[in-house]
Amino acid sequence: MSIQADTSILNRVDGSATLKSGETEIIVSVSGPIEAKPRQELPTTSALDIIIRPDIGISTTREKLLEDKLRQVLTPVIIGILYPRQLIQITIQVLQSGEDKEYTSKELSTIINATYLALIDSNIGLKVSFAAESFAISTDDEIITAPSRSQLKSSKSSHIVSYEISNGKATKLLFSDSIGTFSENQIYQILDLAATKVEETHQIFRKTIQDKIEKDFIWQL
Amino acid sequence: MAKGIEVSINEKSFVFDALKQGIRLDGRKLEDFRNVDITLGDEYGYVDVRLGKTRVVARISAEISTPFEDRPFEGLFTVSTEISPMASAMFENQRQSDDELLISRAIEKAVRRSGALDLESLCIIAGSKCWSIRADVHFLDYDGGFIDASCIAVMTGLQHFRKNDITVSGEQIVIHSVEEREPVELSVLHVPICVTFAFFNPEGVEENIKGESNNEIYIVDTTLEEDLLKDGVLTVAVNKNREVCQISKAGGLPMDALTLMDCGRKAYDIAVELTNQIKKLLEADYKRRNEGIQYKLRAENDRITVE
Amino acid sequence: MSEQPELKLVDFPPAVLARISPELSLQRHLAIGLRPNLRTFEEFKTVQINDGGLSRYSSTNSNNESDVLGSSILRSGNTTVICTIRGGIIEEDILGENNNEDADAVNAIFAKDKESIINQENLIDSAPIYPIVEIERGRNGPPTDEEMNLSQKLYETFLHSKILSKSSLKVKVGLKSKNDKNEIEILYNDENSEFQLGPKRSWNYILYCKFKIFSRSGPLFDLIWISLISALKQTKLPYAYIDENAADIKIPIKMTGNFGTIREQYAITCDDEKFNNLILNNEEIGYSSNFGVISLDKNVSNNNEEDEKKMEIDINDENNDSILLVDLEGEEEEISCKNLINVVVDSKGENLKSLTLTGNIDKSSLQKAIDLSKKRSKFLINQEI
């Protein structure tokens, strides 16, 4: 599967990244820390405003649930106490979802990865790196990493796994969501497989971040 | 909440002084349109338009639905233009500001109400089945010129888009997948292109009767900074048949009627240029897609499947 | 400089401490092997459920005019969930190749490979339900995030679990007409096999389910899931017929100019008395359980050295200082538990239908959680709720 990533692509936000992984393409912007509305304000930590917009149509509860899942991933990794009473606004635009409306695993994994890059680009404090990967189990019980649209359609179950990564190693599980029909053993296999896959993905992101730092104006004379 | 960007007095006088000398901050002449960079996606109907720093993505999609009862012979066409805070923090999520409303209305008028898309060709079974075409415009980055950029994006998207071929027999419709039958293009009657002019009155003196001492300036395709300083705005939508599809000048600085004629002519030149650019791009894309298999999939070849 | 500032210990009653420092309060409870709600770590809340008598087919309901097709009322602790299922009928877009006068000819040319394409799709036969979740807060307003997330999660989990087949939602339309003796009778397909209805159309039921939740005290997905399954098990679908007198109306569509067209419309009426049970794929039905994993704060437990011994008994895995809490309840547990597990299993307990892990879950906790939820699901199935 091909992963193409780029950062600092938008001008009016603090951080942005675009990520194309297989058929799915996502663009993420981060503005923050910015002034929060009184209703959003949290006294000891930063508020997170996550907006996910679908590629076709208006956003529905499907996007709401994705927002909630992304929040579960981001809340533990963003160092909120650095920005008390402030807001971090994350806007995610799905450019190509690469899957049918009934599924969300490919979108969510790409969104998590793209958000990671955009947060780095915006210089928001992160406790740890993270990455995600999507999986599917085919009808003949084979685990497919990063399934294609048609593979996903014919699969028995779809999965998304996200790990924290420190020193290039997947350390702690951050989030995992599985839906469909699958056995207990398969889920352990997927969790183990995911650990190695996210490490591979992370190596690609390290390269992206290296490129980003090289082109950042602060280093240039 | 971070609100819109404000331009300081220094910046303002700097911009004005430059304009008086016929120079703009990004080095363009007053009547230059920014370079339009259009990228077509792998999927049909995916268009990415960059106009300077402004970036707009349009997605065209189609589904089968029921026509309006009072218009049984027409298909549906909706343009969705919702601006997210991604473009700029001045746009709030799910709360339409006045700017946003104006942009949406202008696109709606230029693209939908000018009859650019032949709605009758979208009819499948009169009164019960028709195609519903949807254009989702995603605003990614904002540096002025949203109307112009999104108009280009939607019009290119409509021409690039292919809907699945169908067979109607009796009451049933067979929808053919892309693999099965070459998808068909939409019937686009003409290509309106929006060109936005901004008017400046650098002297700050308003004349009711436009005379010799008239120093008002008009420029084409403003950046955000110029956009914030403008005194009046005019949007002209024309196609290359020299037909004006829309003119909107909502208040602002009163302009000489002859200037409007001038603007119309300028808009026409720009529209022709852009239409040709789009046409070339679409032709190149068609060639790329059909390289080699072009002849095998022709309808007259009786649908030979590609080995 | 001479005076040392004096620190006084402040005592709070447990209820106050729970509010101002929920995490500390929970840790204190856990250190003595108890949960604030007085359950043990691996004890589920009991669930009581009945059909609620809201359905028009319910024996306890005298109101036959009700449009509710199935219902359930669930009580668990303080929480009450009321689930009602209503139905609607929509016309199905039939694929041309399935049902057509010249279907064979059309298929031969256009849809050669159609079957293989359709069979590849996993969800093609799974029917969705459309849930609305309302958590009563004593005020009106737009749905909260929790309500939207719950209903979407319910929709997705239900669809992917394949509990309901599209075929069981098919409306077998009958025809109301006058027979030879000039009496009005309704003919149904299944009674009279020779009878074939004219229009080559088909209709489907769609099911809407509405949840009302009172006094929320913990994660709600489990409870909603149980009440949905229970309500669906009692759901009955009415027979429906086309009134011959009202059928085949030709409606001219007004148009300026010379055009004119007709459109057929059928008025479908539901039979007042006759009904079918809704058929569910029973082997796919399992129940949902939620868990929290929390690590013990050593500082808290060290303060009470006497209690430490008690604690050791309650925790099976002595090397691991994280505790698996079953069926979270109350503010303290919800705030403190950052690591959550949600499991939905199938009827036999062999396969899982949905698994959501949030936060750092170690394998042993996960194994234990899956094991427990399988046991619980079996228990609930045997209980025949």
The CATH number linked to A178 is 3.30.230.70
Decide if C149 and A102 are in contact by the 8 Å CB cutoff: no
In angstroms, the CA A47 to CA B73 distance is: 51
Task: Let me know if residue C9 belongs to a domain.
Answer: no
If one counts every other C-beta atom within 10 angstroms of the C-beta of residue A45, the result is 16
Instruction: Verify that C31 and C57 share a domain, yes or no.
Output: no
Closest residue in A to C366 (Cα) is A188
What are the tens digits of pLDDT across the range B112-132? 888 899 999 998 888 778 999
Residue B305 has pLDDT above 60, yes or no: no
Closest Cα in chain B to C99: B172
Q: Tell me whether residues A11 and B53 touch, CB distance under 8 A.
A: yes
* Same-domain status, C198 and C253: yes
Q: Are residues C99 and C68 in the same domain?
A: yes
Helix, strand, coil % in chain B, rounded to nearest 5:
30, 25, 45
How many domains is chain C built from? 2
The residue out of C268, C284, C300 marking a domain boundary is C284
Same domain for C20 and C153? no
Least confident stretch, A126-135, B69-78, B204-213: B204-213
Q: What's the length of chain B?
A: 307
Half-sphere exposure at residue B42, Cβ-oriented, CA atoms within 13 angstroms? 9
Same domain, yes or no: C239 and C361: no
Q: What pLDDT is recorded for position C150?
A: 94
What's C204's domain CATH number?
A: 3.30.230.70
Mean pLDDT of B282-292: 84
Contact (CB<8Å) B2/A93: no
Domain end among C284, C315, C340 = C284
C161 and C224, same domain (yes or no): yes
Domain assignment present for residue C21? The answer is yes
In one letter, which amino acid is B98?
A: D
Q: Tell me the C-alpha distance between B29 and B23, whole Å.
A: 6
DSSP, collapsed to helix, strand or coil, labels residue A216 as coil
pLDDT, tens digit (0-9, with 9 covering 90-100), for C180-215: 777 777 777 655 544 455 555 678 899 999 999 999
Residue of A nearest to C151 (CA): A61
pLDDT band, very low/low/confident/very high, at A209 (cuts 50, 70, 90): very high
Q: Which segments of A8-99 are extended strands (E)?
A: 15-21, 24-35, 47-53, 86-96
- Name chain C contacts of A43, Cβ cutoff 8 Å: none
Q: Of A193-207, B191-205, B277-291, where does the model show the most confidence?
A: A193-207
| Residue B241, C-beta contacts closer than 8 angstroms, at least 6 positions apart | B190
Task: Report the length, in residues, of chain C.
Answer: 385
Greatest mean pLDDT among A60-69, B168-177, B181-190, C113-122: A60-69
Maximum Cα–Cα distance for chain C, whole Å? 114
Q: Is residue C1 part of a domain?
A: no
Ranking B184-198, B201-215, C156-170, C207-221 by mean pLDDT, the lowest is B201-215
pLDDT confidence of residue C312: 47
* Interface ipTM: 0.92
Query: Is residue C5 in some structural domain?
Result: no
Q: Is C277 a member of any domain?
A: yes
Which range is least confidently modeled, A46-55, B204-213, C196-205? B204-213
C351·A187 Cβ contact <8 A: no
Q: How confident is the model at residue C91 (pLDDT cuts 50, 70, 90)?
A: confident
User: Does residue C264 lie in a domain region?
Assistant: yes
- Chain A neighbours (≥3 Cβ pairs under 8 A) are B, C
Which residue, among B269, B261, B257, has the nearest Cα to B221 in the 3D structure?
B269
pLDDT tens-digit series, residues A144-184: 999 999 899 889 999 999 999 999 899 999 999 999 999 99
Asked if residue C2 has pLDDT above 70, the reply is no
Whether residue C200 sits in one domain with residue C182? yes
Q: Which domain holds residue A76?
A: 3-220
Pairwise CB contact (< 8 Å): A181 & C161: yes
Residues C270 and C312 in one domain: no
CA C108 to chain B, closest CA, distance in angstroms equals 13
Split at pLDDT 50, 70, 90, the class of C100 is very low
Q: Which of A184-193, A205-214, B101-110, B133-142 has the lowest mean pLDDT?
A: B101-110
Number of domains in chain A: 1
Q: Using CB atoms, which residue from B126, B127, B169 is nearest to C106?
A: B169
Tell me the helix, strand and coil percentages in chain A, rounded to 5.
35, 35, 30
Query: What are C327-378's pLDDT values in tens digits?
Result: 998 888 888 888 999 999 988 888 899 999 999 888 899 999 999 999 999 8
- Give the domain extent around C121: 48-284
Query: Does C270 fall in a domain?
Result: yes
> pLDDT grade, residue B298 (50/70/90)?
low
Please state the pTM of the whole predicted model: 0.88
Let me know if residue C29 belongs to a domain: yes
Nearest CA in chain B to C100: B172
pLDDT at C306 over 50: no
Residues C202 and C87 in one domain: yes
Nearest to C261 among B126, B167, B170 (CB): B126
What average pLDDT does the segment A18-41 reach?
A: 91
> Pick from C260, C284, C308: which residue ends a domain?
C284
- How close is the nearest chain B Cα to the Cα of C313, in Å? 53
Between chains, do C360 and A178 touch, taking CB under 8 Å as contact? no
* Residue C257: pLDDT over 50: no
Say if B86 is an interface residue toward chain A (CB within 8 Å).
Answer: yes
Residues in chain A within 8 Å Cβ distance of C151: 61
Q: Which of C151, C354, C360 sits opposite A178 (nearest CB)?
A: C354
Same domain, residue pair C120 and C184: yes
pLDDT digits (tens, 9 = 90+) for C137-166: 888 888 999 999 999 999 999 999 999 998
State the pLDDT confidence band at C273, using cuts at 50, 70 and 90.
confident
Whether C161 and C243 share a structural domain = yes
Round to whole Å and give the CA distance between A131 and A3.
Answer: 13
The whole-angstrom separation of Cα C322 and Cα B216 is 75
B59–A55 CB contact, under 8 Å: yes
- At residue C34, the pLDDT reads 84
Do C94 and C170 sit in the same domain of this protein? yes
Torsion of CA A138, A142, A143, A148, to 10 degrees: -40
